[in-house]
Amino acid sequence: MSYHHGDLRRALVTAALEVLPKVGAERLSLRDIARRAGVSPAAPYHHFADRDALVGAVAAECWQLLLAALESAVAEAGDDQRRRFQLTGIAYIRFAVAHPAHFRAMELPGISKKIPRDVQKKVDAFYAEEERRMRAAQAQGMFAPLPFDNLILAATSLVHGLAHLIIQGETEVKPGDVAHAVRLARDVTAVLGAGLLPREPQPPKRRHR
């Protein structure tokens, strides 16, 4: 990638997204990023004071994209907490497939510590509200009476693991096929909602003449 005209800041963030999963946040080099963007070693300092500032910009972009996807999901679900829970999981997978470089960057050790405070506050507020809603729904019998942290961990593990499998090419979903990924995510998250234990067969419904 080389930069000629336009948004240098954008070019630097894009270059960092490409490199971060390979080298990690602590080994990212502004000089290398400048070279990849096709600019002088001093050019990045017009936008970023140091490496941590660039990593923070990447972290902010990652979380803003994810947060937008999650907020869209809860807006669609409304007050239906079960649907809200499922749709946020599907939104997470949609985000990973649509933005694989961002998804990989978010997993890097130390990246979460670089998130700018204003973005972190929005993320914390979103998850705090969803936790409040989930706990209330569980108290009302809408979710299994399991330890709350275990319930969330199970759901998180499922959607995170499925996102990984998809972007690594371990499923039938082709790279970047968001629509197919969403269909698969719906099916898999429905399994979590139904549970794995066998159920008594339901008697056939009688037809009224």
**CATH number for the domain including 15?**
1.10.357.10
Q: What is the pLDDT, as a whole number, of residue 195?
A: 80
Q: What is the pLDDT, as a whole number, of residue 202?
A: 65
Count CB neighbours of 146 within 10 A: 11
Determine, yes or no, domain membership for 49.
yes
Determine, yes or no, domain membership for 205.
no
Q: What is the pLDDT, as a whole number, of residue 5?
A: 46
Kindly report the pTM of this predicted structure: 0.88
Determine, yes or no, domain membership for 26.
yes
Range of the domain at 118: 8-194
Determine, yes or no, domain membership for 188.
yes
Determine, yes or no, domain membership for 148.
yes
Low-confidence ranges of the chain (pLDDT < 70): 1-6, 199-203, 205-209
What own/partner pairs with CB < 8 Å and gap ≥ 24 does 31-38 have?
36/1, 36/2, 37/1, 37/2, 37/3, 37/8, 37/11, 37/12, 38/1, 38/2, 38/3, 38/4
Closest CA to 113 of 49, 34, 24, 31: 24
Domain count, the chain: 1
Determine, yes or no, domain membership for 167.
yes
Determine, yes or no, domain membership for 203.
no
Determine, yes or no, domain membership for 209.
no
Q: What is the pLDDT, as a whole number, of residue 198?
A: 78
Q: What is the pLDDT, as a whole number, of residue 105?
A: 94
